């Protein structure tokens, strides 16, 4: 699934090119995870004011309202004048005078949702419960630790929910927990402030490294310019079950948590 680094890399790859574009037409293909929320024709004539990111959502600001785009499990965005004809997995197109924005999503778990404002119920339903952005000043160690103390579930599961801090998906949660020396099964509420501080720093470091590497391309992720990411080549534990830990040389282990695979080193990471 595209996580915060992949979504931000996608945004950066087309935000300047689509700025001030005027929408000529909008086309919906097969149904996505949620309905668009308006007739596609209602978007025609609007101007793109900018593109922001909130967690794993791309927010396309329009002269009247905004489009919230989620890439789901396997989605990707393309933007340009020279796109090939739409294929069977291309489910949304926004044609503008500066190029076409296209959502490609083989599994159709992604979504494009229109909202009149960010305070509209349809927007609040998707964005209202998201935690703080991890690469901003709002992500404070003390607040992070206090929030963790209220949780009884595993730290890995808490990170994946996005209610405390957004965008730390499966890949980067595994990597951050390894860097912090914390096992994914540790109960979030039992973490001391120093351990929470190490995890706080690890989350920021891992996400910053992933952004610099263009995100991770495990199957089919690429930016809106068609470029792949390379962070997976730097991974310390993710998808390395059975291989030697890069620190202690003991085999990396894996387990299932909430239907997702967690990877960790039982020697380097403490319960």
78 is catalytic: no
2 is catalytic: yes
Question: Which one is catalytic: 52, 193, 205, 260?
Answer: 260
Q: Cα–Cα distance between 96 and 98 in angstroms, integer?
A: 5
- Reported in sequence order, the residue ranges of the chain that DSSP labels E, i.e. its strands, are 23-28, 48-54, 57-62, 66-70, 76-80, 90-96, 99-104, 111-115, 253-257, 260-264
CA atoms within 13 A on the CB side of 142: 0
Q: Are 15 and 51 in contact (CB under 8 A)?
A: yes
Q: Are 221 and 107 in contact (CB under 8 A)?
A: no
Question: Which one is catalytic: 2, 5, 106, 184?
Answer: 2
- The structure tokens listed for 225 are 């310019």
Which of 174, 170, 165 is CA-nearest to residue 139?
A: 165
Long-range contacts of 122-126 (CB under 8 A, 24+ apart): 122/37, 123/66, 123/68, 126/57, 126/68, 126/70
- The structure tokens listed for 47 are 């101007």
Question: Which one is catalytic: 11, 56, 108, 156?
Answer: 56
260 is catalytic: yes
Which of 122, 134, 144 is CA-nearest to residue 54?
A: 134
56 is catalytic: yes
Question: Which one is catalytic: 3, 8, 93, 175?
Answer: 3
Catalytically active residues, by annotation: 2-3, 56, 260
């Amino acid at each position: 699934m595209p996580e915060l680094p992949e979504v931000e890399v996608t945004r950066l790859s087309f935000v300047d090119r689509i700025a001030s574009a005027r929408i000529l037409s909008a086309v919906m293909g097969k149904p996505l995870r949620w309905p668009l929320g308006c007739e596609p024709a209602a978007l025609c004539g609007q101007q793109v004011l900018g593109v922001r990111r909130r967690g794993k959502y791309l927010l396309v600001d329009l002269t009247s309202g905004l489009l919230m785009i989620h890439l789901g499990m396997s989605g990707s965005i393309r933007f340009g004048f020279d796109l090939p004809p739409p294929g069977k997995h291309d489910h949304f197109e926004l044609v503008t005078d500066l190029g076409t924005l296209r959502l490609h999503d083989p599994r159709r778990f992604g979504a494009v949702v229109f909202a009149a404002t960010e305070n509209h119920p349809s927007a609040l339903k998707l964005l209202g419960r998201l935690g703080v952005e991890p690469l901003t000043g709002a992500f404070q160690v003390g607040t992070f630790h206090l929030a963790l103390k209220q949780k009884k579930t595993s730290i890995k599961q808490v990170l994946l929910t996005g209610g405390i801090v957004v965008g730390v998906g499966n890949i980067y949660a595994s990597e951050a927990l390894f860097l912090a020396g914390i096992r994914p099964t540790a109960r979030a509420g039992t973490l001391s402030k120093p351990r929470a501080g190490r995890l706080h720093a690890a989350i920021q470091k891992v996400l910053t490294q992933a952004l610099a590497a263009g995100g991770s391309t495990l199957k089919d992720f690429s930016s809106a310019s068609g470029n792949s990411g390379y962070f997976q080549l730097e991974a310390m534990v993710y998808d390395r079950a059975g291989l030697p830990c890069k620190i202690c040389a003991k085999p990396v282990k894996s387990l299932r948590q909430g239907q997702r695979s967690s990877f960790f080193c039982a020697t380097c990471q403490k319960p």
